[in-house]
Amino acid sequence: MKPKNSGFKYTKVMDKVQVKDKTFRIFIESASIQKRVSEISAQIDAEYQGRKPLFIVVLNGAFMFAADLFKNLKIECEVTFVKLSSYSGTKSTEVVKELIGLNENISGRDVIIVEDIIDTGITMENMMEKFKQSNPSSLKICTMLFKPNAFRKNYKIDYIGMEIPNDFIIGYGLDYDGFARNLPDIYTLVQ
């Protein structure tokens, strides 16, 4: 059966959006994001053949990237979620709060942490230290975005979608004070 046309068409990308007091302009279009996501999925498929990895998705920001990544994956795998918070407005607070913890036993598992963005690297370091204590057989990191000029740590990031400048961005899961996560494209702050 053919689905009914909902009337929704996403043809023209809006080049500017206003979120609360700030203006953002288009930075990365959905098509480029999707292309890169399918490349990462293919890479993970190839590297995790027969290993049944567990993906730990960091809420809220990574939900959209994780959904697209997951739809592309062909290997046998599982997904679970943790919820953290470190940002307030457009600045990292450096204090990472755990709002929803991990229920699964990850001992002996191949684990891949999925993030929307690695900025200073504090959030991810916190998580890795914590998960390592449960003795997974391997622990890798997969992030859609990475800000190399903001990164203050020196651990390896295994899968990176795109490297971006040290600017505040929204869309594709990323928010400004809770808003704009639903935008399919990524926007950058107009100073």
Contact positions vs ligand IMP (CB under 6 A): 61, 86-87, 92, 115-124, 168-170, 174
How big, in percent rounded to 5, are the helix, strand and coil portions of the chain? 20, 35, 40
| Residue from 68, 110, 116, 119 carrying the catalytic annotation | 119
Cis peptide before 182 (omega within 30 of 0): no
How far apart are CB 2 and ligand IMP at their closest, in Å? Answer: 38
Q: Looking at beta carbons only, is 32 or 120 nearer to ligand IMP?
A: 120
Strand partners, 82: 58
Q: Virtual CA dihedral for 38, 140, 89, 70, nearest 10 degrees?
A: 30
**Is residue 124 helix, strand or coil?**
helix
Whether the CB-CB separation of 21 and 188 falls below 8 Å is answered with: no
Give which of Mg ion, ligand IMP, none residue 86 binds (C-beta under 5 to 8 Å, depending on kind): ligand IMP
119 belongs to the catalytic site? yes
Q: Looking at beta carbons only, is 72 or 120 nearer to ligand IMP?
A: 120
Q: Looking at beta carbons only, is 58 or 180 nearer to Mg ion?
A: 58
How far apart are CB 133 and ligand IMP at their closest, in Å? Answer: 19
How far apart are CB 7 and Mg ion at their closest, in Å? Answer: 33
Give which of ligand IMP, Mg ion, none residue 169 binds (C-beta under 5 to 8 Å, depending on kind): ligand IMP
Q: Which two tokens stand for residue 63?
A: 């939900």
Separation CA 81–CA 74 (nearest Å): 20
Residue-by-residue DSSP string for 43-94 = HHHHHTTTS--EEEEEETTTHHHHHHHHHH--S--EEEEEEEEEEETTEEEE
User: Which residue stretch of 9-17, 20-28, 57-65, 75-83 sits at the interface with Mg ion (rule: CB under 5 A)?
Assistant: 57-65
Using CB under 5 A as the binding rule, the residues of this chain from 58 to 77 that contact Mg ion are 58, 61
How far apart are CB 143 and Mg ion at their closest, in Å? Answer: 9
**Is residue 155 helix, strand or coil?**
coil
Using CB under 5 A as the binding rule, the residues of this chain from 148 to 177 that contact Mg ion are none
Q: Looking at beta carbons only, is 24 or 172 nearer to Mg ion?
A: 172
Active site residues: 119
Q: Which residues sit at the interface with Mg ion, rule CB under 5 A?
A: 58, 61, 116
